[in-house]
Amino acid sequence: MKPPLRTPFCERILYGADYNPDQWLHDPAVLRADIELMKRVKATSASVGIFAWTALEPEPGVFTFDWLDATMDRFAEAGLVVFLATPSGSKPMWLSERHPEVRRVGRDGRRDSSGGRHNHCPTSPVYRAAVSRINRELARRYGRHPALALWHVGNELNGECHCPACKTAFHDWLRQRHGDLASLNHAWCTSFWNHTFTDWSQIPTHDPSIDALAVDWLRFVNDQHISFLKNEIAPLREFSPAVPCTTNFMGTCRGTDYWRWAGVLDRISNDIYPLHADREDSWQKSLDADFTHSLMRGLAGGSSWMLMECAPSSVNWSSVNKLKRPGVHLQEVLQAVANGADAIHYFQWRKSRGGYEKFHGAVVDHEGGAGSRVFRECAEVGRVLRSLAPVAGQPLGRAPVALVYDWEARWALEASAGPKKSPSGDRHTEACMEHFRALRRAGVEVDIVPVDADLSGYSVVVTPALFALDGPTAKRLSDFAAAGGAWIATYLTGYVDEHNRCWRGGFPGPGLREVFGLWNEEVDYLHDDESVRIEGACIDLPGHACGRDIVERLHTEGARVLATVESEFYAGAPIILRNQWRLGSATYVGARLDDESCAALYASIAAELDLPRAKLPAGVVRKVRAGADGPVEFLFNYTRNAVTVDLGEDAFLRVADGRPCRGKTTLRPYDSLVKGVVLSPTPSQPPVPPRHELHPSPLLG
């Protein structure tokens, strides 16, 4: 659990954006207008200075804090708070040119040029020292400033560097992990293709033909980021121990095992940009956003977390940058709050005039005032968030089901040739999201937990595509079932150990063949346009139930057969099985089921186990969060169609217009309803201020 929240975090839902005053120092009128405009949208906060290193330190050791002093003071005067960034996300040119070793090197051995961002070497002592120095200066100067609420450390730390310093550090890391070369060679099966290493220096940072190397490399990269983060945080904690530190995560980012980062931080925060396509199946994507939010809740140990970046309108980096349809943005924000967010921040406050992101959505457009549709929508969001203050800082309840998301299993699967790759190349995450969606479609609440979580208190544990697992993990999961829990595993479970070596003695290993009462003899990978028919033997599946992409050839060794494959040369073979394991059960789903069948499977499991369940039409989602004066309930229509539901006698409020709804109610497309808070009244259309009021000097320059 994170330390208890302090003000301003528990007073209200914080609302703001990434703010770059350093881009507008030539036009003080803009800076003044920003504060006025922030008040109009009911903003509480802004993340300042994320890419402002050169504005703060134009030459090594020369600091220009005047503009930041003025910004901090302006915020304090206006009653706003600052999430002050450390500027390590992009390197100053002077540093990058003088010390090329701070620049990242690619797999091809080529060093990056000075530009870009998020491309520093995480190992470089020079970069670490420079970051430490600027952070120390910032902390010393602003650590006790009344406007400072949070340290925003760096930005979206991720990626890998293959420079000589990283390579040496990797070798040291491997020595720590494996002890001697003989043990490493054994663990990595290097006799295959004559890869035996006879000196540490021979070990590369990248070789796709060594599938264990890939996993250890990502473990190392992850550890380097964590130690880089600790180096950033040390001076901040020294000068401002009471100010919490966060760094903005990127959901299920590949090389970052955030389970291991969470302990270093005081607050968990995340950036998410769901691309809302406004299509018939877009509601499934909204469930994927719920997955990411639940992951953040899990990383926060069940406490609230912060949505540090989302787009107030369209992004600029997708192939088609579609505007969000009416209702979508408000719903996305409320969805995050319902899932535990205590802060909603945008990228970005104001569109830059130039640079790569000049067309990225912002609260304030190039037009510059409060008259745009997006600005009005953001003001509306600000008003609604004020009404939701009772949920701020409140703990979140525990779900009956835990779903395991495991970066290491993902890396092992990704590094292994053979299993059919998913479109994104990330089969583990997709399997987790599919099973999460199916559980939510069945109306069941789900927590996302790490593989070593304390599982006591959960009724069900779901481990989708847990490809890699070691003996102790298999034992802990088996013990959960033995003690009366229901463990549900899927295809691609228990193929390899922690070194990406196959388990011997038949899959699933280790020892899980007995727990699941089956043998997974082989696996059929299907082309995209192929599927196998699946029929429920003891469970109700839809008539068109099918398996796609991955179909394992299972044999029961005592498990009860719940469903079989009814096509292909293995027709009649079991595909969903359940074994009684001591006081509990172990269920195995051997194929990638279609979404509806997977939801039907969970509906039947929920009914059998008598799990609490919301019975709602597909795409309608209910979420409850504790509030200061009792629970606050949210109901969302994620679909683009009108859907009728029965709300019973308790009145919900339609967030868009504050109208009460009860009994049979037709939810509009992308509608959001709330119960348990008082919504402040929608003001009659706010007058659009004359442009000169906001911008005493013309912005065209």
* Closer CB to ligand GAL, 176 or 316, in the complex: 316
Closest approach of Cβ 355 to ligand GAL, in Å?
A: 10
* Closer CB to ligand GAL, 54 or 682, in the complex: 54
Closest residue to ligand GAL, judged by C-beta, is: 347
User: Any residues with CB less than 8 A from the CB of 307 and at least 6 apart, and which?
Assistant: 269, 270, 271, 272, 333, 336, 341, 343, 344, 345
Q: Is 156 a catalytic residue?
A: yes
Question: Is there binding between residue 273 and ligand GAL (CB under 6 A)?
Answer: yes
Judged by CB under 6 A, the number of residues near ligand GAL is 9
Q: Is the peptide bond before 348 cis (omega within 30 degrees of 0)?
A: yes
Per-residue binding string, ligand GAL, 280-309, x by CB under 6 A, is -----------------------------x
Q: Where in 417-456 is the site for ligand GAL (CB under 6 A)?
A: none
Residue 434 contacts residue 464 (beta carbons within 8 Å): yes
CA pair distance 291, 580, nearest whole angstrom: 30
Task: Find how far residue 300's CA is from the centre of its chain.
Answer: 12
* Closer CB to ligand GAL, 347 or 602, in the complex: 347
* Closer CB to ligand GAL, 315 or 453, in the complex: 315
Backbone angles phi, psi at 141, to 5 degrees: -80, -40
Q: Is 309 a catalytic residue?
A: yes
Q: Is the peptide bond before 8 cis (omega within 30 degrees of 0)?
A: yes
Closest approach of Cβ 38 to ligand GAL, in Å?
A: 19
Per-residue binding string, ligand GAL, 331-350, x by CB under 6 A, is ----------------x---
Closest approach of Cβ 620 to ligand GAL, in Å?
A: 29
Q: Which of 156, 160, 498, 633 is catalytic?
A: 156
Closest approach of Cβ 248 to ligand GAL, in Å?
A: 7
What are the start-end ranges of the H helices in 240-303? 258-261, 282-299
Q: Nearest 5 degrees, angle CA 290-CA 315-CA 91?
A: 100
Closest approach of Cβ 317 to ligand GAL, in Å?
A: 6
Amino acid at 226: I
User: Any residues with CB less than 8 A from the CB of 133 and at least 6 apart, and which?
Assistant: 61
* Closer CB to ligand GAL, 192 or 356, in the complex: 356
Whose CA is closest to 140, among 199, 63, 70, 248? Answer: 63
321, 323, 325, 326: CA torsion to nearest 10 = 160
* Closer CB to ligand GAL, 347 or 638, in the complex: 347
CA dist list (Å): 502 to 468, 497, 678: 9, 6, 57
Q: Where in 146-205 is the site for ligand GAL (CB under 6 A)?
A: 155-156
Closest approach of Cβ 158 to ligand GAL, in Å?
A: 10
Burial environment of residue 192 by CB neighbours within 10 A (0 to 12, 13 to 18, 19 or more): exposed
Closest approach of Cβ 316 to ligand GAL, in Å?
A: 7
* Closer CB to ligand GAL, 22 or 271, in the complex: 271
* Closer CB to ligand GAL, 190 or 247, in the complex: 247
Burial environment of residue 554 by CB neighbours within 10 A (0 to 12, 13 to 18, 19 or more): buried
CA pair distance 156, 247, nearest whole angstrom: 7
Whose CA is closest to 428, among 445, 451, 405, 446? Answer: 405
DSSP 11-68: TS-EEEEEE-GGG-TT-HHHHHHHHHHHHHTT--EEEE-TT-HHHH-SBTTB---HHH
Q: Where in 138-157 is the site for ligand GAL (CB under 6 A)?
A: 155-156
Q: Where in 672-691 is the site for ligand GAL (CB under 6 A)?
A: none
Amino acid at 85: A
* Closer CB to ligand GAL, 250 or 601, in the complex: 250
Closest approach of Cβ 17 to ligand GAL, in Å?
A: 11
Rg (CA), the chain: 26
Question: Is there binding between residue 360 and ligand GAL (CB under 6 A)?
Answer: yes
Closest approach of Cβ 151 to ligand GAL, in Å?
A: 16
Can you say whether residue 368 is alpha, beta or left, with left for phi > 0 and alpha for psi between -120 and 50 degrees?
A: left
Strands (E), 107-233: 148-152
End-to-end CA distance of the chain: 51
The residues that bridge with 150 in the sheet, in sequence order, are 83
Residue 270 contacts residue 7 (beta carbons within 8 Å): no
Angle at which helices 427-441 and 407-415 cross, to 10°: 130
Per-residue binding string, ligand GAL, 233-272, x by CB under 6 A, is --------------------------------------x-
Q: Which of 309, 498, 552, 633 is catalytic?
A: 309
* Closer CB to ligand GAL, 347 or 480, in the complex: 347
Closest approach of Cβ 85 to ligand GAL, in Å?
A: 10
CA pair distance 466, 669, nearest whole angstrom: 37
Closest approach of Cβ 367 to ligand GAL, in Å?
A: 20
Amino acid at 309: E
Residue 165: strand, helix, or coil:
helix
Amino acid at 35: I
* Closer CB to ligand GAL, 360 or 675, in the complex: 360
Q: Which residues bind ligand GAL (CB under 6 A)?
A: 155-156, 271, 273, 309, 315, 347, 357, 360
Annotated catalytic residues are 156, 309
